[in-house]
Amino acid sequence: MDARAIIATLRRGEQPSAGDLSWFAAGLANGEVSDAQAGAFAMAVCLQGLDQPGRRALTLAMRDSGDVLTWDLPGPVLDKHSTGGVGDSVSLLLAPALAECGAYVPMISGRGLGHTGGTLDKLEAIPGLSTQVSENRLRRITAEVGCAIVGATGRIAPADKRLYAIRDVTGTVESLDLITASILSKKLAVSLQALVLDVKIGSGAFMKTPEEARALARSLVDTANAAGCKTTALITDMNQPIAASLGNALEVIEVMQALTCGCDTPLSEITAALGGEVLMDGGLVAKAEQGEALIRAALLDGRAATRFGRMVAAQGGPKDFAENWARYLPVAPVIHEVKAPKSGYVAAMNGEALGLVVVQLGGGRLVETDAVDPAVGLSDLVRLGQHVEKGEILARVHAARETAALGAEVAVLHALTLTAKVPEVPPLIHERIS
């Protein structure tokens, strides 16, 4: 086969065969396809698009460009993927809760980039914990603990790793076909029996409109199901952070409070909804509502906290983290209160701007090589619809330096809108796509 012929087929608006796409993905992985050809391919897909069979074929070809894991476990292998947002720590709650319900969860996650936080960065705020483990160790932790949250090895979907870097520099990141293949190739390489997708919409998400979120959810669900992995998506709100904290250690604190205080929060509500869907699709319950109740129970009675502590210890963190987490998490040296300049209702939040505040404080990265300070960020952030009096706290800034804290205060005030009128607050869950 010839990369030029495949690119020419796409350029004419025709669909390449499954064999063509399989050869191209293998060429991405082994170097037979050049960077120039990879960029031309990405641009052709971006401009002309793939049909549903082509999207499935590309996804499976990228999956098969590296290792595909197999399992011999006494329960279903389940997972969740989020399209990214701010204050989104759902994975840290969901993985241990699913394990408590009889599932096995080898969750391959990513790092933060741009305004969104990364699950791996949050976990690595825990001293000693490693998210880079071998395939054998991933298998062992999953079998013994029931869940693991790790980064992808270089042997998982290497074609995607190569094409992702090319897309970033060729202006083709927004292609729905390439987004779908990128997300699902890594998830399907873990040989899941069911997957739930958390597709974010709103000011803190990559998808800002219902149409964009629905199109992505539909593409992911249809492609994953066509590839043999039972999949459902929930479109969830990101017009405000899910949690009241943004930043790696601060989000872990909120996770541990949710796991140990026995109280309902927006974070636990979305976790339960996503868990109910994937428990049903994985065959552990007959209805999503039953699965949701099981997840809530595991969160409220402390079992998920104990399971999370076992996972932390298995990945190299403190053995008593679930009991003594406050002793281990780093604390920023400077903490400033952001106070309301007037009384009113919190009517709007610019989630992307709030995420970038954390990045500017050093808690995220704009390029992949940026170092991350796990202690910095925002906490005690107000909620949409909340009434505040003048001088009341809108958020707390956690910073490494006084000057950084002062700049963050100004940015937070610009990201929040206070009005005299009671605003309409969007629901946490907008839509279900199956």
Question: Does the annotation count 287 as an active-site position?
Answer: no
Catalytic residue among 131, 182, 219, 236: 182
Question: Does the annotation count 82 as an active-site position?
Answer: yes
Question: Does the annotation count 182 as an active-site position?
Answer: yes
Three-state SS sequence of 229-244: CEEEEEEEECCCCCCC
Catalytic residue among 56, 59, 65, 79: 79
The token pair at 211 is 């149409």
Catalytic residue among 55, 63, 187, 396: 187
Catalytic residue among 55, 63, 80, 214: 80
Question: Does the annotation count 390 as an active-site position?
Answer: no
CA distance 355 to 88: 11
CA distance 211 to 148: 34
Catalytic residue among 65, 119, 175, 185: 119
Do 207 and 83 touch, CB atoms closer than 8 A?
yes
Question: Does the annotation count 306 as an active-site position?
Answer: no
Catalytic residue among 81, 161, 162, 230: 81
Question: Does the annotation count 245 as an active-site position?
Answer: no
Catalytic residue among 139, 167, 214, 398: 167
Question: Does the annotation count 142 as an active-site position?
Answer: no
- How many residues in the chain? 434
Distances in Å between the alpha carbon of 243 and those of 195, 202, 269?
23, 15, 11
CA distance 152 to 38: 22
53 class by beta-carbon count within 10 Å (0-12 exposed, 13-18 middle, 19+ buried): middle
Element (H, E) at 81: strand 78-82
Catalytic residue among 56, 111, 115, 186: 186
Catalytic residue among 22, 59, 65, 82: 82
- DSSP of 378-422: EES---TT-EE-TT-EEEEEEESSHHHHHHHHHHHHHHEEEESSP
Do 91 and 151 touch, CB atoms closer than 8 A?
no
What residues are labeled active site?
79-82, 119, 167, 182, 186-187
